[in-house]
């Protein structure tokens, strides 16, 4: 907890200060998805791309492409350490002792590699593109986002004196404490760190996680449930949090040969996930092609899943819709879980917890505004440290375009003609939701 952030940022005398120092420094769901892909789609070829949705921030003017390439080459040279493999093999995740199969772990240790990549510049933005086997591409997502985000941080910090850095981090720590104080007495709260991909830095994320654990888990309370960052879960003996993401239904849909297969693909991926994990990790993400149509057409067995993550729809609307759907299917929502994770800040977490308390088991995935909220902290009043909306999305699957419709049309991805076809097939209406900040 006693990291001197100012001194460390100011005294950079080493040739390369790696941003990602371990292949475990990723969100836990990426490892779960990697095993799923290795098991079911080992020969599928994909491309994915990092995009900055905050176009006013011209990343190519702040981040040197050569410095980014050095960081990426460093990550490509990393391998899983033996101690990390022992932890993955022997630890209990979500109540399951051997969630990672021996064959997968052997492949992960001996044969796992990251795909080739390209870095280009366009309209003031850096474009990162990854191509190859899906097993080699998928893990780039979190590593790449974290590296771009931290290189942006380092650029901003390089313009400050050590005194100014002291002021900056003093303000940021005060802000973090003010937020945590609002959560300390919330009875029944369940909040996790989801902030890896757009963090200020690895060290700051670690500081935030430790502050949350020490402040919220006192007197027998466990308001802080854990972290999505696998390296931090490993290092600090925390629960590793996460299940799956939009990438899986997007790929399954792209592989569909007919419109009928396309519409059914959103349920086929759940069936395959359930089969792969033996009935564990059953939290669905129904908004890839629109939550309302997903629930309307879902087979009855989907209602037996543990819960739902609401990512792009107003969590109040999404939660109420899920609760009503469960009741209509004869399930008691009080035994189910609702996870909100889209751009939450502390006020949202408290408000949503109080709204859903007693109706469903609500939990919050607190991301960018936990691990990268330096708004107003800059000693010169500049906005160079404000978080931006970085995403890494699947672009093609076996040469066919990948599409995401989302509950918020601002988050839709894919060629316009394919987005229109998907909307027709799924019956999903384009609704423009909240402005995407992070």
User: Element (H or E) spanning 10, and its range?
Assistant: helix 5-10
How far apart CA 188 and CA 362 sit, in angstroms, is 9
> CA–CA separation, 211 vs 343, rounded Å?
20
- For the domain covering 162-371, report its CATH number: 3.20.140.10
- What's the predicted TM-score (pTM) here? 0.96
DSSP 35-78: HHHHHH-TT-EEEEEEEES-TTS-GGGTS-HHHHHHHHHHHHT-
Beta-bridge partner residues of 320? none
Using the structure block, give the residue that is written with the tokens 């981090």. Answer: 169
Rounded to an integer, the average pLDDT of 37-44 is 98
Q: Kindly compute the dihedral angle of the four CA atoms of residues 159, 163, 164, 165, in this order, to the nearest 10 degrees.
A: 80
Which fold is adopted by the domain 30-160+390-426? nicotinate phosphoribosyltransferase (3.20.140)
Angle between helices 315-328 and 346-356 (to 10 degrees): 20
- For the segment 142-154, the average pLDDT, to the nearest whole number, is 98
Neighbour-count burial of 436, counting CB atoms closer than 10 A to its CB (0-12 exposed, 13-18 middle, 19+ buried): middle
What pLDDT score does 12 carry?
A: 60
- Break the chain into its structural domains and give their ranges: 30-160+390-426, 162-371
For the chain, give the longest Cα–Cα distance.
63
| pLDDT above 60: residue 437 | no
Cα–Cα distance between 169 and 5 in angstroms, integer?
A: 7
**Is residue 42 scored above 70 in pLDDT?**
yes
**195 neighbors 366 (Cβ within 8 angstroms):** yes
At 226-279, the pLDDT tens digits run 999 999 999 999 999 999 999 999 999 999 999 999 999 999 999 999 999 988
pLDDT of residue 428: 87
- Fold match, 30-160+390-426 / 162-371: yes
């Amino acid at each position: 907890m006693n990291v001197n952030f100012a001194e460390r940022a100011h005294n950079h005398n080493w040739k390369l200060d790696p941003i990602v120092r371990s292949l475990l420094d990723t969100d836990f769901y990426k490892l779960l998805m990697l095993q799923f892909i290795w098991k079911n789609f080992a020969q599928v070829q994909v491309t994915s791309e990092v995009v900055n949705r905050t176009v006013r921030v011209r990343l190519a003017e702040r981040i040197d492409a050569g410095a980014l390439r050095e960081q990426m080459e460093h990550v490509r040279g990393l391998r899983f350490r033996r101690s990390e493999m022992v932890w993955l093999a022997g630890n209990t995740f979500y109540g399951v002792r051997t969630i990672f199969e021996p064959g997968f772990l052997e492949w992960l240790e001996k044969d796992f590699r990251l795909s080739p990549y390209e870095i280009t510049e366009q309209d003031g933005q850096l474009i990162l593109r990854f191509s190859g086997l899906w097993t080699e591409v998928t893990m780039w997502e979190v590593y790449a986002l974290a590296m771009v985000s931290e290189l942006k941080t380092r650029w901003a910090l390089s313009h400050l004196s050590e005194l100014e850095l002291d002021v900056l981090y003093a303000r940021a720590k005060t802000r973090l404490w003010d937020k945590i104080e609002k959560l300390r007495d919330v009875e029944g709260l369940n909040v996790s760190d989801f902030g890896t991909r757009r963090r200020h830095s690895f060290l700051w994320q670690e500081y935030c996680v430790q502050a949350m654990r020490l402040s919220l888990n006192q007197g027998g309370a466990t308001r802080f449930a854990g972290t999505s960052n696998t390296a931090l879960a490993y290092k600090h003996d925390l629960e590793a949090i996460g299940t799956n993401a939009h990438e899986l239904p997007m790929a399954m849909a792209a592989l569909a040969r007919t419109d009928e297969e396309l519409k059914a693909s959103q349920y086929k991926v759940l069936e395959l996930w359930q089969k792969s994990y033996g009935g564990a990790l059953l939290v669905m993400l129904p908004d890839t092609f629109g939550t309302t149509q997903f629930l309307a057409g879902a087979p009855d067995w989907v209602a037996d899943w543990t819960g739902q993550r609401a990512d792009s729809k107003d969590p109040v609307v999404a939660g109420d819709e899920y609760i009503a759907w469960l009741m209509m299917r004869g399930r008691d929502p009080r035994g189910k879980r609702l996870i909100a994770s889209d751009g939450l800040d502390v006020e949202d977490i408290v408000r949503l917890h109080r709204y859903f308390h007693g109706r469903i088991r609500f939990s919050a995935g607190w991301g960018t505004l936990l691990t990268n909220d330096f708004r107003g902290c800059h000693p010169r009043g500049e906005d160079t440290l404000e978080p931006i909306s970085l995403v890494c999305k699947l672009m093609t699957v076996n040469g066919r375009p990948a599409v995401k419709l989302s509950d918020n049309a601002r988050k839709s991805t894919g060629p316009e003609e394919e987005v229109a076809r998907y909307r027709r097939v799924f019956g999903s209406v384009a609704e423009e939701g909240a402005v995407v900040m992070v």
